[in-house]
């Protein structure tokens, strides 16, 4: 029973006891007063009769007449005149009438007995007779009953008003307790809420202020850990001059992109090299040259932001050498991007540079998952060398795989549209287990493969770039969600499903998705929707989305985490189920100490808010052992299990 109900019942019980005591005391006081009045009434009547009968002491008829006239008033139970000393009854009148207005139980409870009085009738100095009068209590009982009913109604009214006011006052005064309960529950969901309104009650005020101080302390500790981790990430993976990624992060991302993972797609790698960097240093000075390099970094950052492709990576290798890793980029788009880069570079031309020589050259080469890193880099270096040797064209592109697959945009559009419209989709499931024990599953990651016109399953890496290009990513999300909910109806087991950036950007698609979730609340505890860290909406929209998903009974997770660690400060308001660390920071973690330090920093920050971590793309036993030592809860990857269709 809640504290509010206990206090409310205690107040009601106290009111009942107080009102009952007051009622009994009032009735008893009225009873004593009425008894006194009955005695006085009987005695007054007896005295009056005695005086009136004295002249007619020897006239029985007159005595009877007087007795009858008094008795007929109805206020007496018995009047009799007894002769002295023989005790002979001269006149006696008696009644047994009772009031119908007073319940018998009340008569028995009050026990208001008739009260009597007597007086002597004199014959000179001699006592001739005695008048005995008993007052009837029926009128006193009726009056007492009316008084009791009135008092009871008044006390009940006061009790009802007191209960209502007391309940309202208690609820108002104890409302901060409900808010503190919500605050504590929010902490368990890894949300830190501060109560802006402090109650006036001193006891509650101290508790609320203590809770707010605790929450602020937790937020401060979490922010400090996040800032420390972000600093480690910047030192390890960011170029200090341009703010782009450094060569180390580029090597990690390229190796990760070339691995045979379900979501990895083909694309292009660009090498950009500034012409005659040493000569620029001599002619312009180190400061001007650094400004040029910074401007190139800003140009690359701006181009990536304009295209909205957070999975692309721009980096500075060394000196005037830059790289751009662009998964999912098609050949004709690569040509346009190269031309745009060259035009942007020409606008950065510094005084003292040769007007006939390009500011920089570009080498562009295609890649696809499964290739060796050395082959891709060698091919891109060859393209760069050809661009430098061709004075008429400052960029060169080699090996466009996408143009040799026998399918054009029209072909992809036709069969992808048919596959989505007719739900020609097959779900694949990849296990996610605990690091400490691979036999303890956490959930299954849901992946999709579309069926081509021949009925063959096409891996996501082939069709996802075309779905993005056609703008049908939100359609794919809805179809996958429908299939996942249907699967859960038959095979209840925790699942995780990724959402694309298009679903988050398009209000209509997001509304359809939330509506579909609300239609299946019974499956909410079994399905977690995953957002890509690289495609997160603004914090206000993200918090609203998180609240909507939780209200529908489902939960949110975050995948591919690590590239934007500064976002971790906003995660305290989302109530996330877990974070999945990008495989970029997991590869060879058992051999590279800087990665281990970075993951340790992430673990410290998230552990302070009890947010589980899951590692992506775990490929070796050494990586799994290192993650288990660090305290990472879960892992997924080829070592744990490859994606496969459902097997009963």
> pLDDT digit string (tens) for 629-642?
998 999 999 899 98
Q: Mean pLDDT, the chain, as a whole number?
A: 82
Do 380 and 522 lie in one domain? The reply is: no
Do 465 and 431 lie in one domain? The reply is: yes
Q: Give the model's pLDDT for residue 114.
A: 77
Do 358 and 477 lie in one domain? The reply is: no
Average pLDDT over residues 211-229: 75
pLDDT(528) > 90: yes
Q: How far is CA 119 from the centre of its chain?
A: 89
Q: What angle is formed at CA 477 by the lines to CA 476 and CA 481, rounded to 5 degrees?
A: 115
Give the structural domain span for 150.
3-160
Do 320 and 334 lie in one domain? The reply is: yes
Answer whether residue 165 is part of any domain: no
pLDDT(404) > 60: no
Q: Give the model's pLDDT for residue 406.
A: 47
What are 63-116's pLDDT values in tens digits? 888 888 877 765 777 888 888 888 888 888 887 666 667 787 877 777 777 778
pLDDT(403) > 80: no
Look up the CATH number of the domain holding residue 54. 3.30.110.200
Report how many domains make up the chain.
Answer: 3
Q: Give the model's pLDDT for residue 353.
A: 46
What are 307-361's pLDDT values in tens digits? 777 788 999 988 888 999 998 888 788 888 888 888 888 887 654 444 556 778 8
Do 502 and 581 lie in one domain? The reply is: yes
Could you tell me the pLDDT band of residue 4, with boundaries at 50, 70 and 90? Answer: low
Q: Give the model's pLDDT for residue 627.
A: 92
Do 321 and 469 lie in one domain? The reply is: no
Domain limit, last residue, from 160, 182, 215: 160
Answer whether residue 216 is part of any domain: no
Average pLDDT over residues 245-254: 88
Answer whether residue 177 is part of any domain: no
Answer whether residue 127 is part of any domain: yes
Average pLDDT over residues 174-195: 71
Q: Is 64 helix (H, G, I), strand (E, B) or coil?
A: helix
Do 399 and 459 lie in one domain? The reply is: no
What are 408-425's pLDDT values in tens digits? 567 778 888 888 888 788
Q: What angle is formed at CA 294 by the lines to CA 321 and CA 268, rounded to 5 degrees?
A: 45
Percentage of the chain with pLDDT > 70?
91
Do 492 and 638 lie in one domain? The reply is: yes
Q: Which two tokens stand for residue 124?
A: 């000179």
Average pLDDT over residues 15-41: 78
Answer whether residue 207 is part of any domain: no
pLDDT(578) > 60: yes
Do 487 and 546 lie in one domain? The reply is: yes
Residue of higher predicted confidence among 212 and 554? 554
pLDDT(209) > 60: yes
In this structure, the number of other CB atoms found within 10 A of the CB of residue 28 comes to: 11
Average pLDDT over residues 12-20: 78
Instruction: Write the DSSP symbol of residue 459.
Output: P
- Give every CB contact of residue 21 below 8 A, 6+ residues apart in sequence: none
Do 395 and 418 lie in one domain? The reply is: no
Strand order in the sheet with 76-83: 89-94, 76-83, 126-135, 115-123
What are 428-455's pLDDT values in tens digits? 999 999 998 888 999 999 998 888 777 7
**Beta pairing partners, 555:** 528
Q: Is this prediction's pTM over 0.85?
A: no
Average pLDDT over residues 246-260: 86
Alpha helices by DSSP H, listed for 450-574, are 460-470, 473-490, 501-505, 507-518, 539-551
Do 257 and 136 lie in one domain? The reply is: no
Q: Give the model's pLDDT for residue 478.
A: 92
Average pLDDT over residues 158-176: 77
Q: Give the model's pLDDT for residue 351.
A: 41
Do 442 and 541 lie in one domain? The reply is: yes
Domain limit, last residue, from 376, 404, 432: 404
Look up the CATH number of the domain holding residue 370. 3.30.70.270
pLDDT(543) > 50: yes
């Amino acid at each position: 029973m809640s504290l509010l109900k206990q206090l409310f019942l205690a107040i009601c019980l106290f009111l009942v006891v107080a009102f009952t005591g007051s009622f009994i005391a009032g009735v008893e006081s009225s009873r004593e007063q009425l008894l006194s009045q009955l005695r006085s009434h009987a005695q007054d009547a007896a005295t009056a009769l005695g005086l009136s009968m004295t002249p007619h002491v020897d006239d029985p008829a007159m005595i009877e007449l007087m007795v009858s006239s008094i008795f007929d008033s109805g206020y007496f139970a018995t009047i009799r005149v007894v002769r002295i000393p023989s005790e002979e009854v001269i006149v006696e009148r008696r009644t047994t009438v009772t009031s119908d207005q007073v319940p018998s139980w009340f008569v028995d409870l009050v026990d208001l007995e008739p009260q009597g009085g007597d007086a002597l009738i004199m014959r000179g100095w001699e006592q001739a007779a005695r008048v005995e009068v008993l007052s009837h209590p029926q009128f006193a009982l009726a009056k007492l009953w009316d008084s009791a009913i009135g008092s009871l109604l008044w006390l009940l009214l006061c009790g009802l008003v007191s209960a209502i006011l007391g309940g309202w006052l208690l609820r108002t005064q104890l409302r901060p307790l409900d808010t503190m309960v919500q605050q504590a529950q929010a902490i368990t969901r890894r949300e830190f809420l501060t109560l802006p309104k402090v109650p006036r009650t001193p006891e509650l005020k101290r508790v609320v202020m203590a809770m707010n101080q605790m929450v602020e302390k937790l937020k401060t500790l979490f922010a400090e850990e996040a800032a420390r981790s972000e600093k480690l990430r910047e030192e390890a993976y960011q170029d200090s001059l341009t703010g782009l990624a450094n060569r180390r992060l580029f090597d990690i991302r390229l190796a990760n992109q070339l691995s045979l993972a379900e979501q990895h797609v083909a694309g292009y790698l660009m090498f950009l090299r500034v012409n005659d960097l040493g000569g620029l240093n001599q002619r312009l000075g180190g400061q001007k040259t650094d400004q040029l390099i910074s401007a190139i970094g800003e140009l690359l950052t701006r181009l990536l932001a304009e295209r909205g492709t957070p999975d692309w990576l721009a980096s500075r290798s060394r000196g005037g050498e830059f790289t751009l890793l662009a998964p999912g980029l098609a050949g004709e788009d690569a040509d346009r991007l190269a031309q745009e880069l060259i035009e942007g570079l020409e606008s950065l031309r510094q005084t003292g540079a040769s007007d006939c020589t390009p500011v920089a050259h570009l080498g562009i080469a295609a890649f696809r998952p499964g290739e060796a890193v050395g082959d891709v880099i060698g091919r891109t270096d060859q393209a760069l060398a050809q661009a430098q040797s061709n004075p008429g064209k400052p960029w060169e592109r080699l090996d466009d795989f996408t143009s040799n697959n026998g399918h054009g945009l029209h072909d992809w559009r036709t069969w992808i549209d048919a596959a989505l419209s007719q739900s020609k989709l097959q779900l694949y499931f990849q296990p996610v287990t605990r690091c400490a024990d691979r036999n303890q599953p956490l959930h299954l990651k849901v992946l999709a493969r579309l069926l081509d016109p021949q009925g063959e399953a096409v891996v996501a890496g082939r069709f996802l770039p075309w779905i993005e290009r056609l703008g049908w990513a939100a359609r794919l999300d809805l179809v996958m969600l429908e299939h996942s909910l249907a699967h859960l109806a038959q095979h209840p087991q925790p699942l995780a499903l990724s959402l694309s950036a298009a679903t988050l950007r398009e209000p209509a698609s997001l509304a359809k998705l939330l509506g579909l979730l609300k239609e299946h609340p019974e499956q909410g505890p079994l399905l977690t929707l995953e957002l890509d860290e690289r495609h997160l909406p603004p914090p206000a929209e993200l918090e609203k989305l998180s609240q909507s998903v939780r209200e529908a009974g489902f939960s949110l997770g975050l995948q591919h985490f690590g590239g934007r660690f500064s976002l971790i400060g906003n995660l305290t308001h989302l109530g996330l189920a877990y974070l999945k660390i990008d495989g970029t920071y997991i590869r060879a973690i058992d051999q590279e100490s800087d990665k281990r330090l970075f993951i340790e920093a992430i673990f410290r920050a998230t552990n302070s808010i009890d947010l589980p971590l899951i590692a992506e793309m775990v490929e070796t036993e050494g990586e799994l052992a290192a993650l288990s030592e660090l305290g990472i809860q879960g892992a997924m990857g080829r070592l744990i299990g490859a994606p496969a269709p459902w097997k009963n």
